[in-house]
Each structure stands twice: as C-alpha cells, then as structure tokens.
Amino acid sequence: MESRLLHVNLTTGELRVEQLPHAMFERWIGGSGINNWIMWEHFLKHDINCDPRSPDNIFVFGVGPLAGTGSGSGIKGRITFKSPCYGIFGDSAAGGKFPYMVRFAGFDHIAITGKAPRPVYLYLCDGHADIRDATHLWGKNTAETHTALNTELGDYPSHVHTLTIGQAGEHQVGIAAVVSDASRIHARGGGGCVMGSKNLKAIAVQGSGGVRVANPAGMLKWSREFRASIDRNEAIYGFKRRGTLGAVEMYQHIGSHFWRNNQGNMFRGDEVRSDNWVKKYHKYSEVCSADCFIACDGRYKIDGSESEKAQKYVGETFRRPEYLTTGSAAGALDLRDWAEVAHWGKITNDYGIDNQDLSCAISFIMEVNQHGLLSERDIGELFGRAQSLEWGNMEDVETLMADIVYRRNLFGELFHDGPYWGALRYSARTGRNFMKYSIYGKGGASFTEEMRPFPTWMNNMAVASRGADHLKGIGLIEKFQRRDLSKRYFNGRLEAADLSTPVLKGACTALVENQVALINSYGVCLFHWMLDPTGYAPEEYYGRAFAEVTGIDRTPEELMRDGERICNLEKAFNSRLGLRREHDTICERWMFEPTTEGMYPGRVAADMFETVLDEYYEWRGWERDTGLQTASRLESLGMGDVAEVLAADGALARG
Amino acid sequence: MSRTPQTEMVTGAVWYQPGDEIPDVDQKLYALQNQCTDCNICEVACSLVHSPDGIVNPLLARLKVNHSPQVGKRAPTHGFGFAADICHHCGNPPPCAEVCPADAFYYDPKTNVAVIAQDKCIGCMECVPGCPFDVIFVAPDGELLKCDLCGGEPACVEACATRPELNNVGKQYNRAPVLFHADSATYRAVLQDKPEPRDEVGMMQAMLEKGMVSSAA
C-alpha cells in the first residue's frame, strides 16, 4: 500500500511530500483515522490550546483507501482541524469527485499549516504541488471560484476539481464551510474559517495517475456482490429517487422535525410536509459522487410555475435540497415554500456556511423577538437598522444571513460562531439571560432535528467528538426500531430498538460510533452502510474490500478495535483541551422543556440523560465521574503512547 | 489532447430512435437514455480490467462519461444530462479501421468487433478524428484506446450503476443497469416493440421480454 502525505507550510511556502509508512495503515486505516493521527502529532509539537484561527492550527484533508478503486463506495473526502466555532476537535466529510481526483493526482492526505501573507490557492497535479496567487479569487463565492479555477486551469490532463471557501470563510466566520466542486459541502465545525484564517482560498486538483489495487479481480467481485446486495434492499428505490428527502414524510409521522427553534417538532404548511415536490415541480436528473452508484442526489431547476414565490427564482438551478437543508429552512426558519427551501440550500452553499448553526442562530433571534424581548432600541443596536424578524420570511432570512457572513453589524459579530456563543455573548452584553432560547449540544454546536424522544440521538448530541452531531454515532437502530439489529449486537436483547427505555442506548452509541469511525476511515459514505440489507455491520464486508485494495487482512473483531481506537483518539484530543463529563451535555430546552407533539409528547431529555451517559462511559471503559479515559483501556487498544501524553496533561483517569 | 465535452454537440452515447439504421454486428453496447448519473464507475471498472498491473485510472478507460447537452435536447423535461460515450462498434468495416494507415485494426474472433493491435499501432492518431462518434481515446502516454467489449463480457455493463427505482420496475429484474450489451437483432426487436426510447420503463419491459435482461427469481 502506497500513500503520500503532502505537508504545506503556507508561512514559509515549504512543500514536502512524505511517504506514509505501512504501519500507519495497520493502526489507523486511512481517511479520518490517519487525518486524526496527523493532527494529533501536529499538536504534540504545537500548543493545543492555540487560537484555532492562528497559523498554529492545522487543516488536514484526506481520502480513504477505497477511494477511486472501483469498489463503488470509497467516495468521501474528510477535512480535520481544531474547530474555530466550538474550540474542540473538528472534522467534516463530503463526497463528489474531488476526493478521488486527489488520489489520481498522487496524494492521499494534505496537511496545511501556517498562514500565507496574501490570498493563495493550492494546486495539485500529478505528484506536484504549487502555491499560487488567489488575489483575483478573493471575494468570489464558491461557485464563482470553482468556475474561475476551471477556466484558468483548463481540461488537461483531466477535469479540474476544487475545494473552495466563500465569503463566510474569507471573513473568518466561525461556522464557515468548505465546499467541494461548488456543490458538496464540508459543513460542520468551521473548516472554511480555518482555511480563511490561513488565507487559503481554494485547493484545485487535476490528476492523470492511477491507483493501484492489490487484487483487481477480487475488488471487482466484491463490488459486484456489494451492489447486488444493496439493490436487494427495497429502501434503495426510495433512496435512489429522493435521497434523504424521504425522511421528510417519515419524520412528520414520528415527530422528529425541528420547528421554529424547536418550539415544535412537526412541520407546518401542507406543501413542505411531503417530498412529492421532487416529482411534481422540479425537473431533475440524478447525479453521483465519483465511483458511487447510489445517486441519492439530483438537480432542480425552477421555472416559475411552481408557486408564486418561485417566480423570484426563475432559472435557478442547483442540487436539490436534502433533509437537513429542509430541516433548517422549512423547520427551524419555518419557510413554507419549496422554491425558498431550495434557494436557501443554494445560497448557504454559495456563501460556504453551515446551514445547521446558521439557521439556529437566526431562529434564536427570531424566537427572542417572538417573545417580545427585543425593544426597538435593541434591534437598532443589533442590526444598525430597523429589521423585521418574522418567521418564514425569506427576505429577513437572507438579510440576517448576510449579516453573519460579512460580520457587518453587531448581530453578525456576536453570532458568527453559532447560536450558543451568540446567545452567551448577547446575554453577557445585555445582562439578561437568553440561554434558554439557544439550541445547542456539546461544544455549542446546534442541530435541527428533534431528539428529546430519541435517547440515542440525545446521547449523540452530548458526546459526539466534533460537537453535537448525529453522524458520529447515528442512532438508527432506535429511530427505525430495528429489533433484529438490537438482538444481534446485544446478545438477543431488544431494548436498543425500544424508544421507551434508556437501557442499551449508551451502549448503542458506543457501538455505532466505532462502526462509523471505521466507515469514515475507509472513506465510505454512511448511506452505503445504512442501506445494506444485512444491517449495520461494516466490520464484515468492508474489511474484505480493504483487504482486496491494500492486501491488509483483518478479522471483524480487529476492525471493531480499529474503529474504537479512532474514537479514542478523538476523545483524547478533546480531553487534552480540558473537556470532561460536564461538557458532554445539551441545552436547557432539550433537557428540561417537554415536547408538545409527535409520538412522545411530554418527553424531556433529562428523563434519561444521565442514565444513558453513565452507560455510554461504561461501554467505552471510561471513568464515570470525569468522563476521562483510563490507561488500561488505552493500553489494551495499543494506545500506550496516547495515554502517556494524556497523563502528562492531567487528562487521564486516575483509577 | 484536451477534450472539452461541455461544448461537444455530437455525443457518443448509443441510443437509437425507431427508424434509425442499426448496423449488423454480433455484439454491441447500448445505453438507457437519461439514466446515466455521472458516477464514473464504468470508467473505473474499464480501466481496472484492462490494466495488467491493477491500476485504476479513468483516463485509461475506453469509454467516457460526459455532460451531454444532447440529452437535454432530446428530453427537454430534464435539461441536465450525462451519458457514457461508448464505441458504436460500427458495421463492417468501421470508419476508424478504414482510416488506419498501419492496418492495426483486426476483428477479435471471440466477439467479431474491431480492436486495435497495440504492437501494430504507430500512434498517428488518424483514427481519433476518423471516428464519427469521438469515442477513440488517447491515454496520457499516447496509447490509443478503443472498446474491445472485454472479449464478450463488458466490465462496464457489469459495473454500471443500476436504476431499479424507475417506478419500482427494477423489482422485477435481477439488474436494471443503464448500459446494456446485446446483439443487434435483439436490440432491433426491442425497438420494434417499444417505439419510444425515452420511455425508460417501457424500454426495460421490452428488454425483459426479448431476454436482454433477466427476470428476478
């Protein structure tokens, strides 16, 4: 297995290629695993408590070992960094063709440090790298930057694929995102802000090299069987047609939406409740990531006949909204027109900003206003103008979004790190406590799905290494009530699929986090994993693909330990930053305010929160009172070196 | 050597309308209209099976997925389109072979389609513009790449992303890929039955009846 890491120091302009040793794959697999290790090593030499916007922060891009190998599933690229908005571990993934092109250009990982004296972009082509002037690209949005780089670099030796930031990243907005090929977004954690703080506008790549596969015949055979197995799952028909939009209807049934800053958990407005609009209004074709066969994605084009409001956006075309685009627009902001929902998706991509944190910041201020807590003077001070803050008003939403993206008034300055920091800063400034209206979980990250009735999701929001998030330990066994999987993983017990009890929910988070870490280090999309009819068992079939590509043969048990090791490194990173049990928490509304509708009205997270958290630590083998890792568990995972670093920082459990 | 597919008006995707002349060849690749998703998995598989040392590289593939404005033209409801540009395996003799000054084309006895003998090829690239469908490709090292149908079992068809979600029609089939492989007589019969190639579901049903795709158990 060959793998190359490109070190880029933007301060000195130094570029250095390092051949990653084979032992690295044995220990960290690739993708997020190796990314995490690169960042861990970086912060052994640099102050881990540094300002995330300083040149000392690191920005790592990496692909997994299955990328561009014909497996049909290694499609995800991952960025890893210290998060500027949450101040903790940060990473984010996206698909598209950029990741596989990085591999064809001869690299697997890129580690960027320092700060360029003026705007630059990084150009990679067939084993060479180059830092180029990007003054002419500064100020452009992600789509314009992508187009400009395509024109500039031409089609030889291959198409150009890019990773860019928009205006949000340039203004170092904490929740700024990195956008791949102008349409696929690494949204969480503020990677765009880190790029912006380094004056790095874009990474462009062209490649004509290939990727070597250890056993081509075995790889093709695996790929065929895997795809046939996925196609046997009837869920694939809906998923291939609508992607995650299928969740809109289903969530309406179980009350899992996030409405008006989570004052409710069902959508209002007849149209947005169903995903029929895809069939009815928007003309689309499916598009795929490179080397992915699912095509959950598609395009819309607005022709004005859809609704009155759509006439404003005639001719607009972009990727059709997926669930969280809808959850943030139709839910958090209560926009009830599909054209507006689609447009919201497009402009957040163009600016390059995370729609989760952004929508929660805007819905926070709208709710505060709804309760009559903002006087005219307050509004004048915040916005520097008269500003209406009306639910479901797209004009208000667009104006507020621009305030944050350009940090052009007090509101933008206070809320550019998301709703938690915004609410905290505004409360401190006014001497009034607004925290009960702020929706956040660990690290101050926010998320637009209801989780009070769903114990595993609630636990995800409190413990995910990158701050409140569902993708690290996604609680689908519980949400889809998969008793079969509960039975299989927990010795015949059914409680993991039962929403009414806290039992096995923490265990479920720990188990699935390990599996997801494995998936992420292969660079495989979570949807491939979710759709396999044999259930969530990545340690079984992806292990074979990994062996066909790399020649490294692993048993399922070893692979689960690999996943656990990766989770523990992310945890160790956060422990070094001072995170303890009290930081694994969620906001007041989720914790204490009962839900009023949906399947389980009256639920508050506090009913089960501590029980589930205790169980999670127990399954992880971490200390219950502090949440810290123990030396014995780390050593059993072959992480003695990590335990030593934690001990030196006083971040290891004493027991 | 730079190709700019966005401006290409001639696509290599093989779709026939009723009444189109279908050349007489034993085997041929066909694409189901409007269903390509640009996943590139056909390119990846093609390059992998043709590589002696297990290298995946789409630039070494013998077919290319392109953004195809013609798809939009033919199917105005979509306006977006991708299509795999694939060799049409033109009738006897194919135009690419006709222009070859080195006589490097020969018929593969297994499939009866024209392929390039690399040892005879002098790399003059005459066949590249000689191909009316623009589907002879040049590798980064100058090698000329033409589809050889993988000796009768095309890897691209095997790898092609399936679209069983087409009105759930896929439930009836083992596989419902975008790329197909059949002899021209069968394909002619399919077209005769189903005179509207844009109707993917109808096409698929006709293909099932004519044995082009196998029914699910």
Please report the pLDDT score of residue B75 as a whole number. Answer: 39
CB nearest to A210's CB, from B4, B55, B164? B55
Band (A140; pLDDT cuts 50, 70, 90): very high
Is the Cβ of B59 closer than 8 Å to some Cβ of chain A?
A: yes
Between A and B, how many residue pairs show a Cβ–Cβ distance under 8 A? Answer: 131
Nearest of A486, A502, A507, A492 to residue A616 by alpha carbon: A507
The two structure tokens encoding residue A644: 């030593």
Please report the pLDDT score of residue A580 as a whole number. Answer: 97
Is A295's CB within 8 Å of B82's CB? no
pLDDT at B168 over 70: no
Please report the pLDDT score of residue A272 as a whole number. Answer: 73
pLDDT at A651 over 80: yes
Please report the pLDDT score of residue A231 as a whole number. Answer: 75
Higher pLDDT, A192 or A655: A192
Beta carbons of B59 and B139 less than 8 angstroms apart:
yes
pLDDT at B83 over 90: no
Please report the pLDDT score of residue A234 as a whole number. Answer: 73
Higher pLDDT, A528 or A630: A630
Please report the pLDDT score of residue B4 as a whole number. Answer: 29
Please report the pLDDT score of residue A632 as a whole number. Answer: 96
B90-136 adopts what CATH topology?
A: Alpha-Beta Plaits (3.30.70)
Band (A502; pLDDT cuts 50, 70, 90): very high
Write the pLDDT tens digit of every residue in A415-435. Answer: 999 999 999 999 999 999 999
Please report the pLDDT score of residue B78 as a whole number. Answer: 44
Ordered by start, the domain boundaries in chain B are: 26-86+147-211, 90-136
Write the pLDDT tens digit of every residue in A225-242. Answer: 888 787 777 777 777 777
Please report the pLDDT score of residue A498 as a whole number. Answer: 93
ipTM of the complex: 0.86
Our measurement of the distance from residue A646's CA atom to the centroid of its chain's CA atoms, rounded to an integer in Å, reads 26
Chain B residues with beta carbon closer than 8 angstroms to that of A317: 79-80
Torsion sign over Cα A253, A254, A257, A263: positive
Is the Cβ of B165 closer than 8 Å to some Cβ of chain A?
A: yes
Is the Cβ of B120 closer than 8 Å to some Cβ of chain A?
A: no
Chain B residues with beta carbon closer than 8 angstroms to that of A232: none
pLDDT at B179 over 50: yes
Chain A residues with beta carbon closer than 8 angstroms to that of B81: 285
The average confidence (pLDDT) of chain A is 92
**Which residue is closest to B172 within chain A, CA to CA?**
A232
pLDDT at B133 over 70: yes
Chain B residues with beta carbon closer than 8 angstroms to that of A223: 45, 159
Is the Cβ of B170 closer than 8 Å to some Cβ of chain A?
A: yes
Beta carbons of A161 and A97 less than 8 angstroms apart:
yes
Half-sphere exposure of B167 (CA within 13 A, CB side): 8
Mean pLDDT for B180-199 is 70
Please report the pLDDT score of residue B73 as a whole number. Answer: 38
Please report the pLDDT score of residue B194 as a whole number. Answer: 56
Band (B217; pLDDT cuts 50, 70, 90): very low
Please report the pLDDT score of residue B172 as a whole number. Answer: 52
Is B55's CB within 8 Å of A208's CB? no
Please report the pLDDT score of residue B184 as a whole number. Answer: 73
The two structure tokens encoding residue A32: 């997020």
- For residue B168, report the phi and psi dihedrals to the nearest 5 degrees: 60, 15
Rounded (5°) CA angle A449-A455-A458: 45
**Which residue is closest to A216 within chain B, CA to CA?**
B54
Beta carbons of A462 and A441 less than 8 angstroms apart:
yes
A257-444 adopts what CATH topology?
A: 1.10.569
Is A288's CB within 8 Å of B39's CB? yes
Is B57's CB within 8 Å of A237's CB? no
The average confidence (pLDDT) of chain B is 74
Please report the pLDDT score of residue A220 as a whole number. Answer: 86
Nearest of A103, A105, A95, A94 to residue A158 by alpha carbon: A105
User: Going by C-beta distance under 8 Å and a sequence separation of 6 or more, which residues neighbour residue A349?
Assistant: A142, A143, A166, A179, A182, A183, A185, A318, A319
Our measurement of the distance from residue A244's CA atom to the centroid of its chain's CA atoms, rounded to an integer in Å, reads 15
**Which residue is closest to A243 within chain B, CA to CA?**
B165
Higher pLDDT, A455 or B161: A455
Please report the pLDDT score of residue B126 as a whole number. Answer: 94
The two structure tokens encoding residue A17: 């290629």
Mean pLDDT for A555-570 is 94
Ordered by start, the domain boundaries in chain A are: 4-206, 257-444, 455-585+605-648
pLDDT at B197 over 70: no
The two structure tokens encoding residue A54: 């300083």
Rounded (5°) CA angle A356-A360-A363: 140
Which residue bears the tokens 């890129």? Answer: A110
Helical ranges in A181-215 per DSSP H = 191-197
Is the Cβ of B128 closer than 8 Å to some Cβ of chain A?
A: no
A4-206 adopts what CATH topology?
A: Aldehyde Ferredoxin Oxidoreductase;  A, domain 1 (3.60.9)
Residue A260: what residue type?
A: R
Write the pLDDT tens digit of every residue in B6-42. Answer: 222 334 455 555 556 665 666 777 776 667 778 888 8
Band (A370; pLDDT cuts 50, 70, 90): very high
Is A291's CB within 8 Å of B40's CB? yes
Q: How many Å lie between the alpha carbon of B101 and the closest alpha carbon of chain A? A: 27
Q: State the CATH class of domain A455-585+605-648.
A: mainly alpha
Mean pLDDT for A323-339 is 93
pLDDT at A18 over 80: yes
Rounded (5°) CA angle A537-B44-B116: 150
**Which residue is closest to B177 within chain A, CA to CA?**
A293
Write the pLDDT tens digit of every residue in A396-420. Answer: 999 999 999 999 999 999 999 999 9
Q: Mean pLDDT highest for which of A223-227, A243-247, A416-420, A539-543?
A: A416-420
> Hey, which residues 11-70 in chain A have their CB within 8 Å of chain B?
68-70
Which range, of A48-57, A112-121, A282-291, averages the lowest pLDDT?
A: A282-291
User: Going by C-beta distance under 8 Å and a sequence separation of 6 or more, which residues neighbour residue A520?
Assistant: A31, A32, A33, A64, A76, A78, A93, A566
pTM attached to this predicted model: 0.93
> Hey, which residues 238-257 in chain A have their CB within 8 Å of chain B?
238-241
> Hey, which residues 506-545 in chain A have their CB within 8 Å of chain B?
none
Half-sphere exposure of A438 (CA within 13 A, CB side): 25
Is B159's CB within 8 Å of A220's CB? yes
- For residue A189, report the phi and psi dihedrals to the nearest 5 degrees: 90, -15
- The C-alpha atoms of residue A357 and residue A339 are separated, in whole angstroms, by 21
Beta carbons of A511 and A622 less than 8 angstroms apart:
no
Band (B46; pLDDT cuts 50, 70, 90): very high
Element (H, E) at A180: strand A178-180
Nearest of A355, A404, A349 to residue A179 by alpha carbon: A349
Residue A156: what residue type?
A: Y
Is the Cβ of B48 closer than 8 Å to some Cβ of chain A?
A: yes
Helix, strand or coil, per DSSP, at residue A325:
helix
Q: How many Å lie between the alpha carbon of B89 and the closest alpha carbon of chain A? A: 25
- The C-alpha atoms of residue A633 and residue A551 are separated, in whole angstroms, by 29
> Above pLDDT 90, what percent of chain A?
72
Write the pLDDT tens digit of every residue in A144-186. Answer: 999 999 999 998 888 999 999 999 999 999 999 999 999 999 9
**Which residue is closest to B55 within chain A, CA to CA?**
A212
Please report the pLDDT score of residue B176 as a whole number. Answer: 61
Higher pLDDT, B43 or B8: B43
Nearest of A593, A594, A578, A586 to residue A626 by alpha carbon: A578
Please report the pLDDT score of residue B189 as a whole number. Answer: 77
